[in-house]
Structure 1
Amino acid sequence: MHATPQQALAAYEKALASYDWEQIAPLIHPDACFLFSTGSHHGKEAIGVAMRSVFSLISDERYRISALHWGHIGADIACASYRFDWQGVIDGELASGAGRGSCTLLRDEVHGWRLLSEHLGPLPE
Protein backbone atom coordinates (compact mmCIF):
# COMPACT_ATOMS: atom_id res chain seq x y z
CA MET A 1 0.00 0.00 0.00
CA HIS A 2 1.40 3.39 -1.01
CA ALA A 3 0.86 6.44 1.17
CA THR A 4 1.12 8.99 -1.65
CA PRO A 5 0.22 9.08 -5.34
CA GLN A 6 3.86 9.90 -6.11
CA GLN A 7 4.96 6.66 -4.43
CA ALA A 8 2.29 4.69 -6.29
CA LEU A 9 3.30 6.07 -9.70
CA ALA A 10 7.00 5.43 -8.98
CA ALA A 11 6.11 1.86 -7.95
CA TYR A 12 4.10 1.46 -11.17
CA GLU A 13 7.06 2.58 -13.30
CA LYS A 14 9.32 0.14 -11.45
CA ALA A 15 6.78 -2.70 -11.73
CA LEU A 16 6.46 -2.14 -15.50
CA ALA A 17 10.23 -2.62 -15.79
CA SER A 18 9.85 -6.05 -14.17
CA TYR A 19 7.58 -7.35 -16.97
CA ASP A 20 5.76 -9.23 -14.22
CA TRP A 21 1.99 -8.76 -14.20
CA GLU A 22 1.90 -10.02 -10.61
CA GLN A 23 3.93 -6.95 -9.55
CA ILE A 24 1.86 -4.56 -11.67
CA ALA A 25 -1.64 -5.85 -10.85
CA PRO A 26 -1.82 -4.62 -7.22
CA LEU A 27 -1.20 -1.07 -8.48
CA ILE A 28 -4.24 -1.14 -10.82
CA HIS A 29 -7.78 -0.41 -9.63
CA PRO A 30 -10.26 -3.19 -10.56
CA ASP A 31 -12.40 -0.72 -12.55
CA ALA A 32 -9.47 0.93 -14.34
CA CYS A 33 -9.56 2.02 -17.96
CA PHE A 34 -6.30 2.21 -19.92
CA LEU A 35 -6.15 3.75 -23.39
CA PHE A 36 -3.20 2.54 -25.45
CA SER A 37 -2.40 2.65 -29.15
CA THR A 38 -3.71 -0.93 -29.25
CA GLY A 39 -7.13 0.20 -28.04
CA SER A 40 -9.16 0.81 -24.93
CA HIS A 41 -8.89 -1.71 -22.13
CA HIS A 42 -11.57 -1.69 -19.42
CA GLY A 43 -11.02 -3.50 -16.14
CA LYS A 44 -7.93 -4.98 -14.56
CA GLU A 45 -8.24 -8.31 -16.40
CA ALA A 46 -8.39 -6.67 -19.85
CA ILE A 47 -5.48 -4.40 -18.94
CA GLY A 48 -3.48 -7.44 -17.87
CA VAL A 49 -4.16 -9.18 -21.19
CA ALA A 50 -3.02 -6.08 -23.11
CA MET A 51 0.13 -5.66 -21.04
CA ARG A 52 1.11 -9.32 -21.28
CA SER A 53 0.64 -9.09 -25.05
CA VAL A 54 3.09 -6.17 -25.22
CA PHE A 55 5.50 -8.03 -22.93
CA SER A 56 5.48 -10.96 -25.38
CA LEU A 57 6.42 -8.69 -28.32
CA ILE A 58 9.15 -6.53 -26.76
CA SER A 59 12.15 -7.94 -24.93
CA ASP A 60 14.72 -6.09 -22.82
CA GLU A 61 12.41 -3.08 -22.63
CA ARG A 62 13.33 -0.02 -20.64
CA TYR A 63 10.41 2.28 -19.82
CA ARG A 64 10.90 5.68 -18.24
CA ILE A 65 8.57 8.46 -17.13
CA SER A 66 9.89 12.04 -17.18
CA ALA A 67 8.60 15.64 -17.20
CA LEU A 68 6.07 14.58 -14.59
CA HIS A 69 3.44 17.21 -13.75
CA TRP A 70 0.90 16.68 -11.00
CA GLY A 71 -2.22 18.58 -12.07
CA HIS A 72 -4.08 17.76 -8.87
CA ILE A 73 -3.36 15.91 -5.67
CA GLY A 74 -6.32 15.62 -3.34
CA ALA A 75 -7.12 13.47 -0.35
CA ASP A 76 -8.44 10.59 -2.48
CA ILE A 77 -7.76 11.43 -6.15
CA ALA A 78 -4.74 12.66 -8.08
CA CYS A 79 -3.94 13.22 -11.73
CA ALA A 80 -0.66 13.61 -13.56
CA SER A 81 0.72 14.07 -17.05
CA TYR A 82 4.15 12.99 -18.24
CA ARG A 83 6.41 12.04 -21.08
CA PHE A 84 7.30 8.38 -21.53
CA ASP A 85 10.19 6.81 -23.41
CA TRP A 86 10.79 3.17 -24.15
CA GLN A 87 13.48 1.11 -25.79
CA GLY A 88 13.58 -2.61 -26.41
CA VAL A 89 14.07 -5.39 -28.92
CA ILE A 90 11.33 -6.43 -31.34
CA ASP A 91 12.00 -9.37 -33.69
CA GLY A 92 15.72 -9.11 -32.96
CA GLU A 93 15.90 -5.40 -33.87
CA LEU A 94 16.41 -2.47 -31.49
CA ALA A 95 13.25 -0.35 -31.31
CA SER A 96 12.28 2.72 -29.35
CA GLY A 97 9.55 5.26 -28.98
CA ALA A 98 8.23 8.12 -26.93
CA GLY A 99 4.93 9.74 -26.19
CA ARG A 100 2.95 11.49 -23.55
CA GLY A 101 0.69 10.06 -20.95
CA SER A 102 -1.78 11.00 -18.31
CA CYS A 103 -3.12 9.06 -15.40
CA THR A 104 -5.60 9.29 -12.57
CA LEU A 105 -4.96 7.62 -9.24
CA LEU A 106 -7.59 6.82 -6.63
CA ARG A 107 -7.00 6.18 -2.93
CA ASP A 108 -8.97 3.93 -0.63
CA GLU A 109 -8.32 2.95 2.97
CA VAL A 110 -7.66 -0.72 2.21
CA HIS A 111 -5.39 -0.57 -0.86
CA GLY A 112 -3.93 2.94 -0.79
CA TRP A 113 -3.27 4.65 -4.12
CA ARG A 114 -3.91 2.74 -7.37
CA LEU A 115 -4.18 3.70 -11.03
CA LEU A 116 -7.75 4.27 -12.15
CA SER A 117 -6.87 5.38 -15.66
CA GLU A 118 -3.92 5.76 -17.98
CA HIS A 119 -3.88 7.26 -21.45
CA LEU A 120 -0.76 6.96 -23.61
CA GLY A 121 -0.43 8.71 -26.94
CA PRO A 122 2.08 10.18 -29.38
CA LEU A 123 4.12 13.31 -28.84
CA PRO A 124 2.76 16.41 -30.57
CA GLU A 125 4.19 17.10 -34.01
Structure 2
Amino acid sequence: MDNSESTPAELIAFMADYDRRANAHDVERWRELVADDASFWFTDGSYEGIEAITAAVQRTFDQIRDEVYTISDLHWVYASTDFAVVRYRFHWVGFVDGQQREGRGRGTNSMAKRDGRWQMVHEHLST
Protein backbone atom coordinates (compact mmCIF):
# COMPACT_ATOMS: atom_id res chain seq x y z
CA MET A 1 0.00 0.00 0.00
CA ASP A 2 1.28 3.41 -0.88
CA ASN A 3 1.69 5.94 1.92
CA SER A 4 0.21 3.60 4.54
CA GLU A 5 2.76 4.79 7.08
CA SER A 6 0.90 8.10 7.34
CA THR A 7 -2.61 6.60 7.07
CA PRO A 8 -4.51 5.81 10.26
CA ALA A 9 -4.57 2.07 10.97
CA GLU A 10 -8.36 2.15 11.34
CA LEU A 11 -8.73 3.24 7.69
CA ILE A 12 -6.42 0.50 6.47
CA ALA A 13 -8.41 -2.00 8.56
CA PHE A 14 -11.70 -0.63 7.19
CA MET A 15 -10.59 -1.16 3.58
CA ALA A 16 -9.34 -4.67 4.39
CA ASP A 17 -12.70 -5.51 6.00
CA TYR A 18 -14.57 -4.00 3.04
CA ASP A 19 -12.51 -6.19 0.66
CA ARG A 20 -13.02 -9.30 2.84
CA ARG A 21 -16.78 -8.81 2.98
CA ALA A 22 -17.00 -8.29 -0.78
CA ASN A 23 -15.15 -11.56 -1.32
CA ALA A 24 -17.49 -13.39 1.04
CA HIS A 25 -20.35 -12.57 -1.40
CA ASP A 26 -22.72 -11.92 1.50
CA VAL A 27 -24.39 -8.68 0.49
CA GLU A 28 -26.05 -8.23 3.89
CA ARG A 29 -22.72 -8.24 5.75
CA TRP A 30 -21.07 -6.09 3.06
CA ARG A 31 -23.78 -3.42 3.14
CA GLU A 32 -23.18 -2.83 6.87
CA LEU A 33 -20.13 -0.85 5.77
CA VAL A 34 -22.01 1.34 3.26
CA ALA A 35 -23.82 4.57 4.19
CA ASP A 36 -27.56 4.69 3.57
CA ASP A 37 -27.11 7.77 1.36
CA ALA A 38 -24.06 6.50 -0.54
CA SER A 39 -23.58 6.79 -4.29
CA PHE A 40 -21.75 4.17 -6.33
CA TRP A 41 -20.65 4.59 -9.95
CA PHE A 42 -19.93 1.40 -11.83
CA THR A 43 -19.19 0.79 -15.51
CA ASP A 44 -22.78 -0.40 -16.00
CA GLY A 45 -24.44 2.55 -14.24
CA SER A 46 -24.74 4.81 -11.24
CA TYR A 47 -26.63 3.91 -8.09
CA GLU A 48 -27.90 6.18 -5.34
CA GLY A 49 -28.85 4.94 -1.88
CA ILE A 50 -28.21 1.69 -0.08
CA GLU A 51 -31.11 -0.26 -1.63
CA ALA A 52 -30.12 0.49 -5.25
CA ILE A 53 -26.45 -0.15 -4.50
CA THR A 54 -27.19 -3.43 -2.71
CA ALA A 55 -29.32 -4.64 -5.63
CA ALA A 56 -26.54 -3.83 -8.12
CA VAL A 57 -23.90 -5.60 -6.02
CA GLN A 58 -26.17 -8.63 -5.53
CA ARG A 59 -26.62 -8.85 -9.34
CA THR A 60 -22.84 -8.91 -9.70
CA PHE A 61 -22.52 -11.62 -7.05
CA ASP A 62 -25.19 -13.65 -8.88
CA GLN A 63 -23.58 -13.20 -12.32
CA ILE A 64 -19.98 -13.94 -11.37
CA ARG A 65 -19.62 -17.30 -9.63
CA ASP A 66 -16.62 -18.07 -7.41
CA GLU A 67 -15.37 -14.52 -7.89
CA VAL A 68 -12.15 -13.44 -6.27
CA TYR A 69 -11.84 -9.65 -6.13
CA THR A 70 -8.58 -8.01 -5.14
CA ILE A 71 -7.49 -4.44 -4.67
CA SER A 72 -3.89 -3.28 -4.84
CA ASP A 73 -1.72 -0.18 -5.13
CA LEU A 74 -3.78 1.76 -2.61
CA HIS A 75 -2.93 5.43 -2.47
CA TRP A 76 -4.56 7.52 0.23
CA VAL A 77 -5.39 10.81 -1.47
CA TYR A 78 -6.70 12.32 1.76
CA ALA A 79 -7.16 11.04 5.29
CA SER A 80 -8.41 12.91 8.35
CA THR A 81 -10.14 11.87 11.55
CA ASP A 82 -13.57 11.81 9.87
CA PHE A 83 -13.12 11.63 6.07
CA ALA A 84 -10.82 9.80 3.67
CA VAL A 85 -10.32 9.17 -0.04
CA VAL A 86 -8.36 6.26 -1.47
CA ARG A 87 -7.62 5.25 -5.04
CA TYR A 88 -6.50 1.79 -6.13
CA ARG A 89 -6.37 -0.84 -8.83
CA PHE A 90 -8.74 -3.80 -8.82
CA HIS A 91 -8.80 -7.22 -10.44
CA TRP A 92 -11.48 -9.89 -10.46
CA VAL A 93 -11.63 -13.44 -11.71
CA GLY A 94 -14.60 -15.81 -11.69
CA PHE A 95 -17.05 -17.77 -13.82
CA VAL A 96 -19.68 -16.10 -15.99
CA ASP A 97 -22.08 -18.49 -17.74
CA GLY A 98 -19.72 -21.35 -16.93
CA GLN A 99 -16.69 -19.72 -18.55
CA GLN A 100 -13.78 -18.29 -16.61
CA ARG A 101 -13.56 -14.53 -17.04
CA GLU A 102 -11.54 -11.75 -15.50
CA GLY A 103 -11.36 -7.99 -15.50
CA ARG A 104 -9.43 -5.12 -14.05
CA GLY A 105 -9.71 -1.43 -13.56
CA ARG A 106 -9.35 1.53 -11.23
CA GLY A 107 -11.31 2.50 -8.16
CA THR A 108 -11.79 5.50 -5.94
CA ASN A 109 -13.57 5.32 -2.60
CA SER A 110 -14.63 8.04 -0.19
CA MET A 111 -15.29 7.16 3.44
CA ALA A 112 -16.79 9.20 6.24
CA LYS A 113 -16.80 8.53 9.96
CA ARG A 114 -20.39 8.78 11.16
CA ASP A 115 -21.62 7.97 14.64
CA GLY A 116 -18.16 6.71 15.53
CA ARG A 117 -17.73 4.25 12.65
CA TRP A 118 -16.39 4.41 9.12
CA GLN A 119 -18.83 4.03 6.24
CA MET A 120 -18.36 4.01 2.49
CA VAL A 121 -20.10 7.10 1.07
CA HIS A 122 -18.94 6.87 -2.55
CA GLU A 123 -17.33 4.32 -4.82
CA HIS A 124 -16.31 4.84 -8.43
CA LEU A 125 -15.06 1.83 -10.40
CA SER A 126 -14.01 2.03 -14.03
CA THR A 127 -12.56 -0.50 -16.41
Q: TM over 0.5, yes or no?
A: yes
Q: Which runs of 4+ in 1 moved over 3 A?
A: none
> In the alignment, what sits opposite 1:33?
39
| Alpha-carbon distance in 1 for matches of 2:84, 2:68 | 25
Give the AA of the match of 2:57. Answer: M
2:29 pairs with 14, 23, 30, which one?
Answer: 23
- For normalisation by structure 1, the TM-score amounts to 0.92
Question: What percentage of aligned pairs have identical amino acids?
Answer: 37
Q: Specify the SS of the correspondent of 2:20.
A: helix
Residue ranges of structure 2 left out of the alignment (5+ in a row): 1-8
> In the alignment, what sits opposite 1:59?
65
Residue 113 (structure 1) aligned with residue 109 (structure 2): no
Residue 7 (structure 1) aligned with residue 13 (structure 2): yes
| Alpha-carbon distance in 2 for matches of 1:49, 1:32 | 13
Number of aligned residues: 119
Following TM superposition, by how much is the alpha carbon of 1:82 offset from its aligned partner in structure 2, in angstroms?
A: 0.0
Q: Specify the SS of the correspondent of 2:104.
A: strand
CA RMSD of aligned residues (A): 1.0
1:68 pairs with 54, 71, 74, which one?
Answer: 74
- For normalisation by structure 2, the TM-score amounts to 0.90
Give the AA of the match of 2:76. Answer: W
Residue ranges of structure 1 left out of the alignment (5+ in a row): none
